[in-house]
Structure formats: C-alpha cells, structure tokens
Amino acid sequence: MIEEPAQPEQVLDALLATLPQISSPGEEIVVHDAWVDTPRSVCVVYEHSLFGDGVMGLRRVITVHARSNDPQSTGEDFAWSLTEPLGTSRLHRGPFGVTWWGVVDEDDLPVPPTWRP
C-alpha cells in the first residue's frame, strides 16, 4: 500500500505522455477523456484501433507504484495496459456508451467530468 500521496496527477500526465511513444505502426489508441477520479485513482476513456471493442473505460486505483515512490512508472504501466487485448476481463456497460473494465462495482461506474450534464 502507498504510504506517501498517490500523486494521481503525475500518474495521469505519464499515462498521456507514454501512449504516443508505445503505439506500433497501424495501431492507434485514441483517448477521448482522462481525469483524476479520486485522490487514489485515475480514469481514461479510449478506443483501440486493433481491438474493435468500441469505446472503453478503465479506472486504475493506485495502491502501489510500479516502482517505489515513482508515479511516472505507474502512469507508464497504465499506458501499457491499454495496448493489451481485454481477454476475460469483466466488463460493465456504462453511460454514454462506454464499456468499463477495471471497475469492481457496477453501481459505481465513472462518468467523465466533461461529459456530465
């Protein structure tokens, strides 16, 4: 568990900076929205060009950093997770046509702040 602040803003910045660097030719990850959800979580709404899954959302709760006390490493790890096929992930259909994974409680699906009425 993280003893120090989770630093979600730095995690989010690293996620967004890493995505363009890790895309392969013919592969595109389009980020529709990304935000700090709580003091310990970050969300991203995206589409992956290779996986026809539609608009996907992922909430990542920051319990430990990928490398000790290094929020950038956590953002980089988060970005890499978006490049992988979902496999058997549990999916929840949410508002605005976003299918969420990495969300345990179906009654607590995130809504992007800029999409709220």
> Strand 92-93 to strand 99-101: parallel, antiparallel, or no bridges (unpaired)?
antiparallel
Backbone angles phi, psi at 64, to 5 degrees: -145, 150
Q: In the prediction, which pLDDT does 5 show?
A: 65
Q: In the prediction, which pLDDT does 23 show?
A: 80
Question: Rounded CA gap, 91 and 58, in Å?
Answer: 10
Q: In the prediction, which pLDDT does 88 show?
A: 63
Tell me the pLDDT of the chain (117 aa) as tens digits: 555 667 999 999 999 999 999 888 888 899 999 999 999 999 999 998 887 778 999 998 888 877 777 889 999 999 999 988 777 678 888 888 899 987 777 778 888 888 877
Q: In 3D, which of 62, 75, 57, 74 has the Cα closest to residue 112?
A: 57
Residue 98 tokens, joined: 């976003």
The pTM (predicted TM-score) of the whole model is 0.86
Domain limits, the chain:
8-107
